[in-house]
Amino acid sequence: MTINTHFQQLPDNYLFKEISNRVEAFQQSHPNARVLRLGVGDVTRPLPLPVVDAMHRAVEELAHPETFRGYCPEEGYPWLRQTIIDNDYRPRGVQLELEEVFISEGAGSDLGNLSELFSSANRVAILDPSYPAYVDSSVMAGREIEFLPCHADNNFVPSLPKEKADIIYLCFPNNPTGTVLTHDQLKAWVEYARTNKSLIIFDAAYESFIEDSDIPHSIYEIEGAKEVAVEVRSYSKSSGFTAVRCGWTVVPKATGLQAMWMRRQCTKYNGTAYVAQRAAEATYTPLGKDGIQNNLAHYKGTAQLLSQGLRDLGFEVYGGKNAPYIWCRVPKGYTSWSFFDCLLNNCQIVCTPGAGFGPSGESYVRFSAFSNRKDCEEALKRLQALA
Ligand code: PLP
């Protein structure tokens, strides 16, 4: 046996593991401190009742011989895939076939697994900073990476790659910077991919935070994108499903990858949990939608509170609108990790050091709006005392 030595190129510790180690160490030495967690982008609001009811009903079905079900279809139940097409795509003028939508256990696994479809000789372009999964899975596969720096001078909007990229990971609304792309900005990427015969892996995990009308919710709103883009979506942040686990991936037939992905899923994926698929279906009922919108309104409110509050305290702040993340420049003299340590030790606030998302994140920290209003207000008070 020989191991995949590409793993040795990965940083020793996954970013969020390192953060939780430092927070745990702090908490152990300060057992009475009330730590405010504005770091990891995990949801905090409970599931809406119609979703919980749907899960109860699904469990009950599994409990009786006449309604029991075994393995779910590898690509997901047609009733959920059709519901996604009817609610998330058709109203935006996007026509998809049922066979192009694959239900998943969330975006994270598919973002990694899609990498299997491509040869390791492909050159990959990835935004810097970015959600770590794109870099990590490309490194594991031994691919060459071109980083596309995103900083205040380019408004965190990346330039096109300098050398031809075969695979491009785009994430908008962006984690961690909170940046969004207008229709025209995204169109430039679709045109690049069409000209260069590249594939865009479009991560739209934060689509539900979009409020401005000129921002596309799906890459397929751009003409010609179906030939060059795979889109990855998730119920995690839109519907509070980080524990439930459900999402979907669109692999259009026009990419030439749909049959390959189906083949891959049949061998390696035995379907998303039935209970999770029923829960996802319930998010589209009128009451389900109300509950989801209620939770989203809460997070949008905390995003607004945090970004305005930080701005008022004199911080240079980006994001927080159309996205649940606030990207904040650290004060002079700090690195992103030293400011993380400063906030933890002096204010008992947890943020995420920007350097964990790539070298261009070095002068920033990320605050997450997935928190309750009281904690955000308290965090701002503590920061004011620090200033
Ligand atoms: N993509 C981005 C940009 C994310 O920030 C996350 C999670 O934080 C994911 C994907 C993974 O989400 P999921 O819970 O659907 O696996």
pLDDT by 10s per residue, the chain, length 387: 999 999 999 877 778 888 999 999 999 999 999 999 998 899 999 999 999 999 999 999 999 999 999 999 999 999 999 999 999 999 999 999 999 999 999 999 999 999 999 999 999 999 999 999 999 999 999 999 999 999 999 999 999 999 999 999 999 999 999 999 999 999 999 999 999 999 999 999 999 999 999 999 999 999 999 999 999 999 999 999 999 999 999 999 999 999 999 999 999 999 999 999 999 999 999 999 999 999 999 999 999 999 999 999 999 999 999 999 999 999 999 999 999 999 999 999 999 999 999 999 999 999 999 999 999 999 999 999 887
The count of C-alpha atoms lying within 13 angstroms of the C-alpha of 127, restricted to the half-sphere facing its C-beta, is 29
What's the CA-to-centroid distance between 237 and ligand 1, angstroms? Answer: 8
What's the CA-to-centroid distance between 107 and ligand 1, angstroms? Answer: 5
CATH architecture of 50-287: 3-Layer(aba) Sandwich (3.40)
Atom of ligand 1 nearest to the CA of 107: 15
Is 305 near ligand 1, meaning CB less than 6 Å away? no
Is 176 near ligand 1, meaning CB less than 6 Å away? no
CA–CA gap between residue 227 and residue 223 (Å, rounded): 10
Separation in Å, CA 358 to CA 64, 176, 349:
51, 10, 22
Is 380 near ligand 1, meaning CB less than 6 Å away? no
Stretch(es) of the chain classified as CATH 3.40.640.10: 50-287
**Which residue carries 């961690």 as its tokens?**
176
CB 275 within 8 A of CB 281: no
What pTM does this model have?
Answer: 0.97
Is 108 near ligand 1, meaning CB less than 6 Å away? yes
Q: Which residues pair with 124 in a beta bridge?
A: 145, 167
Atom of ligand 1 nearest to the CA of 175: 3
Per CATH, the number for 5-46+289-386 is: 3.90.1150.10
CA–CA gap between residue 45 and residue 298 (Å, rounded): 9
Stretch(es) of the chain classified as CATH 3.90.1150.10: 5-46+289-386
Is 131 near ligand 1, meaning CB less than 6 Å away? yes
| Cα–Cα nearest to 206, from 182, 183, 187, 234 | 234
Number of other CB atoms surrounding residue 92 within 10 Å: 12
